[in-house]
Homo-oligomer: A and B are copies of this chain.
Amino acid sequence: MDTGDLTATPEPPYYAVVFTSRLGADDEGYDAAADRMFELVQTTPGFLGADAARGADRVGITVAYFRDEPSIRAWRDEPEHAATRARGRAHWYDAFEVRVAKVERAYGFRRA
């Protein structure tokens, strides 16, 4: 997630899970867990890619793309992911929002 590249996705329709969060003061273990979750999500059938950014104000956005609803549910129910979500609620996040959205159209630009 730190390569500076934007993820490439297939033609819509597909799904986006938009995760916005604000980290609190107790972020011990957060970075390692985030790296591990990014590694783990790649093994989810139907995972298409993800982008992530977090600024100096500790607000972060991760957008993960999935082929369909069953692949979103498979990621939600993945046991290590569920355990990490519980750590997030207990320790790391002051606030978060999860939005599941169906991508209807997309376009992009790459400098030549």
Contact = CB atoms under 8 A, between A and B. Distances in A.
Interface of A: 2-7, 9, 12, 16, 18, 20-22, 24, 51-55, 57-61, 63, 89, 93-111
Contacts of A95: 6, 108-111
Given A63-B20, A101-B101, A57 B108 contact: no
B53 A61 contact: yes
Interface SS, A side: strand
Given A53-B54, A54-B55, 18 more contacts: A2-B57, A4-B22, A6-B20, A6-B21, A6-B97, A9-B99, A16-B99, A18-B18, A20-B51, A24-B111, A52-B59, A53-B61, A55-B55, A63-B63, A94-B111, A97-B106, A97-B107, A101-B103
